[in-house]
Amino acid sequence: MANLIALTPCDGLLPISEGSMELREVALERCVSVAPFEGKQKAASDALKAQVSAGLPAVNRRSGAVTWFGHGTWMLAGDVSLHGLAAVTDQSDAWAVVSIAGAGVEDVLARLVPVDLRPSAFKTNHVAKTMLGHMSVTITRTGPAAFEIMAMRSMAATLVHELQVAMRGVALRA
């Protein structure tokens, strides 16, 4: 019988440092999507506030462990019970999540992402569904020079490669 070992999406790929920037994996123990049923968005948001201290944030925003994820859907890092209020689907193994931080990180992302991620336009807890190279990603600003990027698990190696190449280019310019 095979001895199966669970591996994270970026196992063996991260962490990576280039100049003052660092790319690390964000390991999610549990991740679920939340899609409120018609007419139940406020009730679902209130239930989330009671359970995880954060309701459903506005479009393109994150609040606590809850991230807007697109048309009527939010992603929650953790677990929740919303019986009768929302469809809750386990997404734990579906996503690769990385954090990229350090001086020059906006320059790295400017090479790859067609969105203005400068602090004046994209503040902490702002979220964008966009493309990074040819991959569909969700980007959240988590601090002054820090972002979290979610891509499909199958794209983990490509995500890391694209970010590392751009990081190296920015670091060499410095």
Between CA 50 and CA 104 the distance in angstroms is 38
Region of 60 on the Ramachandran plot (φ > 0 left; ψ -120 to 50 alpha; else beta): left
Q: What is the pTM (predicted TM-score) of this model? A: 0.94
**Backbone phi and psi for residue 35, each to the nearest 5 degrees, phi listed first:** -125, 100
Among residues 167, 148, 164, the alpha carbon closest in space to that of 96 is found at 148
Q: pLDDT by residue (tens digit) across 101-151?
A: 999 999 999 999 999 999 999 999 999 999 999 999 999 999 999 999 999
Q: What is the 3-state secondary structure (H, E, C) of 90-119?
A: ECCCCEEEEEEECCCHHHHHHCCCCCCCCC
Rg of the chain in Å (alpha carbons): 17
CB 159 within 8 A of CB 135: yes
As a CATH number, domain 16-28+93-173 is 3.30.1360.120
User: What are the structure tokens assigned to 26, written together?
Assistant: 């964000």
The pLDDT value given to residue 93? 92
The pLDDT value given to residue 174? 78
